[in-house]
Amino acid sequence: MKIQAVTIFPEFFDVLDISLLGKAQEQNILDFSAVNLRDYTHDKHRTVDDSPYGGGAGMLMKAEPWGEALDELLAKDGSTVLVVPTPAGELFNQELAAELATKEHIVFACGRYEGIDQRVFDWAATKSEMKMISLGDYVLNGGEVAALAMIEAIARLIPGVIGNAESLVEESHSNGLLEYPSYTKPAIWRDLEVPEVLRSGNHAEIAKWRLEQAIERTKRIRPDLLD
Ligand code: 6GU
């Protein structure tokens, strides 16, 4: 899978070189690159922002550099998915991560300031599949940190990125429930004991206990998931 992130802060994405995603890049399972939006400006100051029509606080990102960058990055056959991280988007979740993990090419458009001129999206939506996606109901300073979270959630679902594919099956949200609690040695730590059933060796009882725990935890912490 090829992923590109257009940004005025390419160095945000340096962390993708470490750990599992770093390994996935070395193995050519994942081809990631950060693209500097300022490379698509033509003035001495490499300007990417301007004041909004109609007034209001802050600055907006100008359409022209975004247009030139996307002209170059979006595949002409329409096969690219353009993802715009924004608190005004649809909510990101495991299902959306799994859908995006099947795509060949994703471009993340990371805005800063108060956002990007709307015409960039109106135009891009005629050239590519486009998704505006939010991580949740809070505001970040720009799309970069949100894009990083989405890239990690998506890329770890690509076959071969996670060594033990079974670990994807039991984790939180893969079955609509939060994950059950887990324990490792020692059996007693600071007077706290690992539940007896997990040490029993009875796999049917263990599976039953884990499901009960997952349901109880989901009811308590995220009842909305059970609706
Ligand atoms: Cl995707 N972007 C920004 N800037 N803020 C957010 C967000 C995204 N999701 C939640 N807050």
**177 vs 218: CA distance, rounded Å:** 6
- Give me the tens of pLDDT residue by residue for the chain, a chain 227 residues long: 999 999 999 999 999 999 999 999 999 999 999 999 999 999 999 999 999 999 999 999 999 999 999 999 999 999 999 999 999 999 999 999 999 999 999 999 999 878 999 999 999 999 999 999 999 999 999 999 999 999 999 999 999 999 888 888 888 888 899 999 999 999 999 999 999 999 999 999 999 999 999 999 999 999 999 98
**15 vs 184: CA distance, rounded Å:** 29
pLDDT of residue 121: 97
- CB of 134 within 6 A of ligand 1: the answer is yes
Q: Is there a contact between 74 and 82 (Cβ–Cβ < 8 Å)?
A: yes
Which residue has the CA at smallest separation from atom 2 of ligand 1?
Answer: 86
Report CA torsion sign: 39, 42, 45, 51.
negative
pLDDT of residue 167: 83
**2 vs 25: CA distance, rounded Å:** 10
- CB of 142 within 6 A of ligand 1: the answer is yes
Ligand 1 center to residue 198 CA distance, Å?
Answer: 40
Q: Is there a contact between 7 and 144 (Cβ–Cβ < 8 Å)?
A: yes
Structure pTM?
A: 0.95
Ligand 1 center to residue 135 CA distance, Å?
Answer: 6
pLDDT of residue 21: 97
Q: Is there a contact between 53 and 81 (Cβ–Cβ < 8 Å)?
A: no
**178 vs 29: CA distance, rounded Å:** 29
Residue among 108, 140, 145, 150 whose CB has most ligand 1 atoms within 8 A, to mutate: 140
Q: Nearest-CA neighbor of 35 among 13, 62, 61, 64?
A: 13
**223 vs 227: CA distance, rounded Å:** 7
